[in-house]
A and B are shown apart, each in its own frame.
Chain A
Amino acid sequence: MKKIENILKQHDHRKERIIQILNDIQKIHNYLPKDVLQYVSRRLKLPLSEIYSIATFYAAFSLKPRGKHLVTVCMGTACHVRGAPAVLNRLEDRLGVTSGSTTQDNQFTLKTVNCLGACALAPIVVVDEEYHGQTSVNKVDRLLKTYEKEKN
């Protein structure tokens, strides 16, 4: 909780910075753990219900742990017309999960995003923080394999 206290300090323990605080917590933990949120609630004197409502309203937050690799598929309009739905379908088939969930071995979490603003690279898939532009259905297997390899 020392790290969390540091985050709170950076934001001067200001209640209105709660979204920024949650963003920072997620950067450390990869998701928003329940005990951390309870701690934040006590320290900021902000009802847990309110924090929960914020954490579920904004798409960037996750209350469940995420897999080792976060696979984000851009579903912006430019990506859509250049074939993003097929890429997403292929990823879902290949990983055996639907968007928003994590594989059983905790290796991959698949999610979509509305637009990354990198439309020239459409359709685009981001794995962790690496951008893979101009993807297509038949590049999906190769893409996943490079990350699966790291495991071994």
Chain B
Amino acid sequence: MKKKKTNREFRQHLLVCAGTGCVANHSFEIKEELEKEIIRKGLQDEIQVITTGCQGFCERGPIVIVQPDGIFYQRIKKKEIPRLVEEHLLKGRPVKELMYLPSPKEAPVPRMMDIEFFKHQRLIVLRNRGRLDPENIEEYIGFNGYRALETALTRMTPKQIIEEVKNSGLRGRGGAGFPTGKKWELCRKEPGRTKYIICNGDEGDPGAFMDRSVLEADPHSVIEGMVIGARAIGAHKGFVYVRSEYPLAVKRLRIALQQAREYGLLGDDILGTGFNFDIEVVQGAGAFVCGEETALIASVEGRVGRPRQRPPYPSEKGLWGKPTNINNVETWTNVPMVIQRGAKWFSSIGTKTSKGTKIFSLVGKINNTGLVEVPMGITMREIIYDIGGGILHGKEFKAVQTGGPSGGCIPKTMLDLPIDYESLTRAGSMMGSGGMIVMDEDTCMVDVARYFINFTQEESCGKCPPCRMGTKHMVYILDRITNGDGKESDIELLEKIAENVELSSLCGLGQTAPNPVLTTLRYFHDEYEAHIKEKRCPALVCKNLISYVIDAELCGGCTICAKNCPSDAIAGEPKIVHKIDQEKCTKCGICITVCPPKFNAIKKVSPSIK
């Protein structure tokens, strides 16, 4: 039998991103096509195509990286593959047209590490980003994987592991930022032989997808972190709870678990140390509240995911009443690096109170959408402008929303805020899981507040009245305001309800639900006033407060809008200025998207024309 070539024997490697974003952009077809073309050119013994996990720069998918040159190709289409193979792989001439272009006026950037999006990042959690095949344990081991596990299991006592994690200053990356080492210690100290650990992968915050990416791209790093944690705490059984919307993550995790068992890194007598530990995957079924730890525990037990009163905390009474330690995906993935490189190294990164890095998912009205891992203490401005490349279509920045439905909106005046757990809380928001949704001048902040309250209202489990009814009432008021029926007393009423919900809800979901309302009231008061007093939506979003009109001077009479209008609200003959019948118009917005840019004749106005 012919021996399989090891990685070193190939001249070049093509790394094809197979994260959810790139897969949606047909990266598997790209891979197949690349392989076919390579065989056609007879290069199969020299060049290998590998699928990797998420590269993070999802906006530019599908992504192909050529190593060892480090050339970054983006938005690859099938038809361009023959040329790519011919030019770059055969003739050694990288194809400029397929490279990243910062802006139409600038030159293409060939190397991945020279691209602004990647340049400013510091990778700890995403250390293996896009460089290994997540379905192959050998590659993870090849990049020093499971070294930390070996160290922790053979050369450290559980107490030493906990000390190391404590000294590193690592804090929970799921939201509240509780010190990880301390959490482990609490659970370790609990009496009893049966203890559990859980990895919270129920990444519910809309706009956050780092946990999905890590599970898909580097599942072994999560497993390794969990085994180390289990050893420190004295647990023999662990669970990874993954939300049902992430099928690819579940699949890769299951493969990784099986491989880890085969390699003796999971199961009975791990590495011959006599330590037993195994992990089971549990899938959620679409309930945001299951990200809350007591609800998550209920869900793992096969019950309805309703939170319960704390204390007792899960570290005392968790899964099936036993001491349980819960950390989220990103936290677990930090652990092997803390052990491998030491607490001193880890704590040298970040700010006084927040150590290490944090992954943010930079999304919304931003040029470079994707996942970025940056040291704590970096400013919003650096993330949004240096890494993110600024606002989409050159529009004006308005706010950035962090922390999901529990967080808040941070305005322009705070762009130079260094980001850590404390600074975000002071600003009225929170770290949360790290979603960062950028909003521009076309985003209505009252509508955003309504969106989030509506979200928590729908996801409220209904157990405690302040959350169940308070959020409902807030939705009702915000609906009224965005519909143009707001009363001047509404702002005060909103603040009052918000305070009640915050103070008297049972769990974190309710306690933090008012944050999006309170921060928008604090920083964007004028927008609320415009809606209430002038019946006007300054960002031209709220349907009832706007009208679509055709600018007679700009209209070229091309009839495209009239033909596309689904409600026949536009009257117009060729070459004659068109007009929108406000009675018939449903404000669907199709006309504005189809009006040719050379005319750009359709505008939104507010207040609406009655």
Task: Give residues in A with beta carbon < 8 Å to B.
Answer: 14-20, 22-23, 53-54, 57-61, 75-78, 80-83, 86, 89-90, 93-94, 113-122, 124, 131, 133, 136-138
Contact yes or no, B588 A89, CB < 8 A: yes
A138 to B364, CA, bound (A): 20
Contact yes or no, A78 B437, CB < 8 A: yes
| Residue interface mask B282-304, A partner, CB < 8 A = 1 | 11111110000000000111111
Contact yes or no, B594 A120, CB < 8 A: no
Which of A17, A23, A59 is most buried by chain B, counting CB atoms within 10 A of its CB? A59
Residue ID in chain A nearest B369 by CB atoms: A120
Which of A59, A83, A119, A124 is most buried by chain B, counting CB atoms within 10 A of its CB? A119
Task: Give residues in B with beta carbon < 8 Å to A.
Answer: 20-21, 23-25, 58-59, 61, 203-209, 212-213, 244-246, 282-288, 299-305, 361, 363-365, 369-370, 401, 404, 435, 437, 439, 443, 448, 451-452, 455, 459, 461, 564, 566, 586, 588-590, 593-594
A61 to B212, CA, bound (A): 21
Contact yes or no, B245 A54, CB < 8 A: no
Q: A81-B439, A82-B364 are in contact. Are A54 and B304 (CB under 8 A)?
A: yes
Contact yes or no, B207 A16, CB < 8 A: no
- Sample of 13 A–B contacts (CB below 8 Å): A23-B285, A54-B303, A58-B284, A59-B285, A61-B286, A76-B206, A78-B369, A93-B586, A114-B455, A117-B245, A118-B58, A119-B363, A120-B363
Q: A60-B286, A115-B207, A117-B245 are in contact. Are A53 and B455 (CB under 8 A)?
A: no
Contact yes or no, A115 B245, CB < 8 A: yes
Min distance, Cβ A80 to any Cβ of chain B, angstroms = 5
A14 to B443, CA, bound (A): 48
A145 to B61, CA, bound (A): 26
* B448 proximity list for chain A (CB < 8 A): 77, 80-81
Contact yes or no, A81 B443, CB < 8 A: yes
Contact yes or no, A23 B245, CB < 8 A: no
Partner of B283, one of A20, A78, A120: A20
Contact yes or no, B286 A59, CB < 8 A: yes
Pairs of residues from A and B, 5 with the lowest C-beta to C-beta distance, nearest first: A117-B209, A120-B58, A131-B24, A58-B285, A76-B206
Partner of A23, one of B61, B283, B455: B283
Majority secondary structure of chain A interface residues (helix, strand, loop or mixed): helix
* A131 proximity list for chain B (CB < 8 A): 20, 23-24
A77 to B433, CA, bound (A): 14
Contact yes or no, A58 B363, CB < 8 A: no
Contact yes or no, B305 A120, CB < 8 A: no
Min distance, Cβ B543 to any Cβ of chain A, angstroms = 9
Contact yes or no, A23 B244, CB < 8 A: yes
Contact yes or no, B304 A122, CB < 8 A: no
* B58 proximity list for chain A (CB < 8 A): 118-121
Which of A116, A133, A136 is most buried by chain B, counting CB atoms within 10 A of its CB? A116
A107 to B437, CA, bound (A): 35
Contact yes or no, A114 B304, CB < 8 A: no
Residue ID in chain A nearest B439 by CB atoms: A81
Given contacts A90-B566, A137-B593, 10 further A-B contacts (CB under 8 A): A19-B282, A22-B285, A23-B244, A78-B437, A114-B288, A117-B208, A117-B209, A122-B363, A124-B24, A138-B564
* B590 proximity list for chain A (CB < 8 A): 90, 137-138
Residue ID in chain A nearest B290 by CB atoms: A58
Q: A17-B302, A78-B437, A119-B369 are in contact. Are A113 and B59 (CB under 8 A)?
A: no
Partner of A137, one of B21, B244, B589: B589
Contact yes or no, A121 B24, CB < 8 A: yes
Contact yes or no, B287 A57, CB < 8 A: yes
Contact yes or no, B589 A86, CB < 8 A: yes
Partner of B20, one of A18, A22, A60, A118: A118
Min distance, Cβ B369 to any Cβ of chain A, angstroms = 4
Residue ID in chain B nearest A44 by CB atoms: B302
A136 to B593, CA, bound (A): 8
A136 to B443, CA, bound (A): 17
Min distance, Cβ A71 to any Cβ of chain B, angstroms = 15
Residue ID in chain A nearest B302 by CB atoms: A16
A76 to B208, CA, bound (A): 9
A60 to B204, CA, bound (A): 14
A19 to B304, CA, bound (A): 9
Partner of B206, one of A17, A53, A57, A115: A115
A131 to B455, CA, bound (A): 23
Contact yes or no, B204 A114, CB < 8 A: yes
A83 to B440, CA, bound (A): 13
* B21 proximity list for chain A (CB < 8 A): 118, 120-121
* B566 proximity list for chain A (CB < 8 A): 90, 93-94
A90 to B24, CA, bound (A): 23
Residue ID in chain A nearest B444 by CB atoms: A81
Min distance, Cβ A76 to any Cβ of chain B, angstroms = 4
A138 to B299, CA, bound (A): 40
Min distance, Cβ B114 to any Cβ of chain A, angstroms = 21
Which of A22, A23, A120, A121 is most buried by chain B, counting CB atoms within 10 A of its CB? A120
Contact yes or no, B588 A86, CB < 8 A: yes
Min distance, Cβ A25 to any Cβ of chain B, angstroms = 12
Q: A19-B299, A117-B20 are in contact. Are A77 and B588 (CB under 8 A)?
A: no
Contact yes or no, B207 A119, CB < 8 A: yes
* B594 proximity list for chain A (CB < 8 A): 138
A131 to B25, CA, bound (A): 8
* A117 proximity list for chain B (CB < 8 A): 20, 203, 208-209, 212-213, 245-246
Partner of A19, one of B213, B302, B364: B302
Which of B283, B285, B459 is most buried by chain A, counting CB atoms within 10 A of its CB? B285
Contact yes or no, A78 B305, CB < 8 A: no
* B285 proximity list for chain A (CB < 8 A): 19, 22-23, 58-61
Contact yes or no, A78 B288, CB < 8 A: no
* A53 proximity list for chain B (CB < 8 A): 304
Partner of A118, one of B209, B304, B404, B455: B209
Min distance, Cβ A129 to any Cβ of chain B, angstroms = 8
A95 to B300, CA, bound (A): 37
* B213 proximity list for chain A (CB < 8 A): 117
Which of A15, A81, A131 is most buried by chain B, counting CB atoms within 10 A of its CB? A81
A134 to B593, CA, bound (A): 13
Min distance, Cβ A3 to any Cβ of chain B, angstroms = 19
* A83 proximity list for chain B (CB < 8 A): 589
Residue ID in chain B nearest A56 by CB atoms: B304
Q: A118-B209, A138-B593 are in contact. Are A90 and B287 (CB under 8 A)?
A: no
